[in-house]
Amino acid sequence: MGPEIIPMKVCPFPLKRLLMLLLLAFLASCDQSTTKKITVADIPDPKKTDGGYVSNPDHLLSDAAVSSLNEQLGILDRAGKVQVGVVVMHSIGNNDTRDFVHQLFNYWKIGSKEKNNGLLILMVEDARKLEFETGTGIEADMPDIICFRIQQEYMIPRIKEHDYDAAFRDGILSVASLFNKGNYAYDQLPESPVVDSSLVVADAAVAGPVNADYPGLTAVADSAVADNAASEDPGLVEAPPSYFAGNTSSISSSYIGEPSIPGLIFWFIASLVMIRVFFSRKIKTRKGEDQAPVQLKDAPNELLRPGTLGFILVYGLGLLGVGYMASVRHTDVGFLKTFVIFYLAWCLFMSGVVIILWLRAAAVLHGKDRHEKWACLAMVKRDVGPATYAFPLPLLGLYVWALKKRMDRLRNEVYECPKCNHPMHRLNDVEDNDYLDKAQVVEEHLESVDYDIWRCDSCSTQLVLNYTNMRSACSECPSCHHYTFRCDKTVTLKRATTSSQGMGSQQFSCAACKFKHDYMFIIPKVSSSSSGSSSSGSSFSSSSSSSSSWGGGSSGGGGASSSW
């Protein structure tokens, strides 16, 4: 038999199986918000938790903001002016926000049953929508145009800066000013009349004028106007720091975008699969096992085995890209952006792989004959070839194209006779069978090896060269040493349990010499399934109101919508 070759790891899964695994990983990691139908019953009702007014399940508002909003909305409610509900969500699935806010208003029954003085404010982050829904009893005081102006003038500018705390702070200030002073533009109200300090007690003079109907928000709004008068831009109101104690500003310059957890999970799984498919791994043996012969398609690749280090490198590159977009570019990194970033990271990684393979092959092939060079390059082509479908890079495609050209040249160039130095000629597939033994014919029949027979017409010297198919599932027979040893079936002798390992057997037989052998292997213990329950993250702070339900109001569909 011709010169031996060094087997090399090939892709253990066909390309179709790789694509199927990636598709399954993609489907498993998709955001459930797009697949689960969200209803109004899924929205946490703050009245049923602590009697508050703010539903903040995705924690888009800070705890300090929720606490302050609950306090101020409680004052409005107890004064009989308006009962306001606030819902801040990242997503409501595929629901239309306008229909959803109307359904939620009537589901909770916001506002007094007698007055119908309810107002529901809904913000949906991924839909980029801000909705106001008003009860029938306040439509005269708060018509649709006023709702829209409050959104556009006091809330949307802050939302665009990702400063949701300030958006709802200013929005509630505007609503309070509307119902207490008849003007939503609290920052444009005329200054309070000068009070003669001689006519009031000292403490009252220090405290300033107080609105009897609404003492809490009047003081806050007046303080905001006074602070704004001293600012450079008189059109912009900043509430006093005491209004939101402990609140941290989230202006765009310091905003850190949110990564896509489903995207990170998808690429974690996909990267593990591709590292395993495109590159080989070292064959490990276990104690107590009669190690089965390595199949040609599973033979380890000595030229390049990135393994765990390669996974850490490529996944780390992707994480760096996501971190850059989130912290430096101040933008949310959704699933699509995450997909593109990690795909580019893999493209960069595969470009580096091509360069390393080129250098490694040049060093390893130095001094080898044509047949040995072809065998090594065939292994490289088999491993890297499928990657060209997933990553159609010019450098990778050029490398595989050059690889094919070189392999064709190494196999098809005419050999010189080792005895007389005359050119030899290659026999065709029919003629070469006369020069092959029975085992070699079986190898060709199993497509594990293809033989080329070169014959010298001058001295009748023959050169038999074996070209091994590294995608074959055959192994080298320990008896006749031909690649005709195959696994006929796998049998479970003892099932594994949660407390003990199992035992199995792989039954091999040789198609050439009929040699048979059973190889024992260990089946790992079955991991006990653990089910854990996780609580949903809804943040509600204490409220001044102890009411555990809304007032029983209803909406006729009034309000306004804004996008950003």
Placement of tokens 């007055």 in the chain: 115
> For 557, which DSSP code?
E
Confidence bin at 553 (pLDDT 50/70/90): confident
To the question of domain 34-255 being in CATH 3.10.310.50, the answer is yes
Q: Please give the pLDDT value at position 19.
A: 59
Cβ-count burial 179-190 (b if 16+ within 10 Å, e if not): bbbeebebbeee
Q: Please give the pLDDT value at position 33.
A: 42
Q: Please give the pLDDT value at position 551.
A: 80
Bridge partners of 528, per DSSP, are none
> For 155, which DSSP code?
I
CA 382 to chain centre: 30
Residues 6+ apart with CB under 8 A from 278: 11, 383, 384, 386, 387
Mean pLDDT of 455-480: 89
Confidence bin at 530 (pLDDT 50/70/90): very low
Closest CA to 190 of 209, 168, 203: 209
Measured distance CA(407)–CA(451) in Å, rounded = 15
Q: Please give the pLDDT value at position 372.
A: 86
Q: For the segment 70-127, what is each residue's pLDDT rounded down to a tens digit? A: 988 988 888 888 999 999 999 988 889 999 999 999 899 998 888 889 999 999 999 8
Measured distance CA(246)–CA(541) in Å, rounded = 14
Measured distance CA(174)–CA(188) in Å, rounded = 11
Measured distance CA(215)–CA(341) in Å, rounded = 53
Long-range contacts of 271-274 (CB under 8 A, 24+ apart): 271/311, 271/314, 271/315, 271/318, 271/342, 271/346, 272/311, 273/18, 273/21, 273/22, 273/25, 274/18, 274/346, 274/387, 274/390
Domain boundaries, the chain: 1-31+260-403, 34-255, 414-474, 483-530
pLDDT over 90 at 341, yes or no: yes
Encoded amino acid at 114, one letter: E
Phi, psi at 372, each rounded to 5°? -70, -40
CA 224 to chain centre: 43
Closest CA to 224 of 172, 149, 275, 262: 172
Q: For the segment 357-404, what is each residue's pLDDT rounded down to a tens digit? A: 888 878 888 888 888 888 888 877 877 777 788 888 888 888 888 888
> For 424, which DSSP code?
P
pLDDT over 60 at 210, yes or no: no
User: Of the given ranges (143-157, 361-375, 474-488, 533-547), which has the lowest mean pLDDT?
Assistant: 533-547
Q: Please give the pLDDT value at position 513.
A: 93
Q: For the segment 4-52, what is each residue's pLDDT rounded down to a tens digit? A: 444 444 444 455 565 566 666 665 555 444 445 788 888 998 888 878 8
Strand ordering across the sheet containing 83-89 = 54-55, 83-89, 118-124, 129-135, 555-563
pLDDT over 90 at 510, yes or no: yes
Q: For the segment 123-167, what is each residue's pLDDT rounded down to a tens digit? A: 999 989 999 999 988 888 899 889 999 999 999 999 999 999 999
List the structure tokens of 517. 């052998």
Q: Which residue has the higher pLDDT, 287 or 362?
A: 362
Closest CA to 468 of 1, 111, 20: 1
Measured distance CA(311)–CA(276) in Å, rounded = 10
Q: What is the mean pLDDT of the chain?
A: 78
Q: Please give the pLDDT value at position 500.
A: 86
Residues 6+ apart with CB under 8 A from 403: 377, 380, 381, 384
Bridge partners of 259, per DSSP, are 333
Give the sign of the dihedral formed by CA 74, CA 80, CA 85, CA 86: negative
Measured distance CA(279)–CA(478) in Å, rounded = 27
pLDDT over 50 at 472, yes or no: yes
Stated pTM of the model: 0.46
Closest CA to 296 of 447, 514, 511, 488: 447
Phi, psi at 362, each rounded to 5°? -60, -40
Q: Please give the pLDDT value at position 21.
A: 62
Measured distance CA(344)–CA(393) in Å, rounded = 11
Q: For the segment 397-452, what is each residue's pLDDT rounded down to a tens digit? A: 888 888 889 889 998 899 989 888 899 989 988 888 888 889 999 998 998 999 99
If residue 449 lies in a helix (H) or strand (E), which one and from where to where? Answer: strand 449-455
Query: What is the percent of the chain where pLDDT is above 90?
Result: 24
Mean pLDDT of 482-506: 89
Asked if 373 contacts 365 with a C-beta cutoff of 8 angstroms, the reply is yes
Q: Please give the pLDDT value at position 486.
A: 92
HSE, side-chain direction, 13 A CA sphere, residue 349: 26
Separation in Å, CA 253 to CA 44, 241, 250, 328, 331: 32, 20, 8, 9, 11
Q: Please give the pLDDT value at position 275.
A: 84
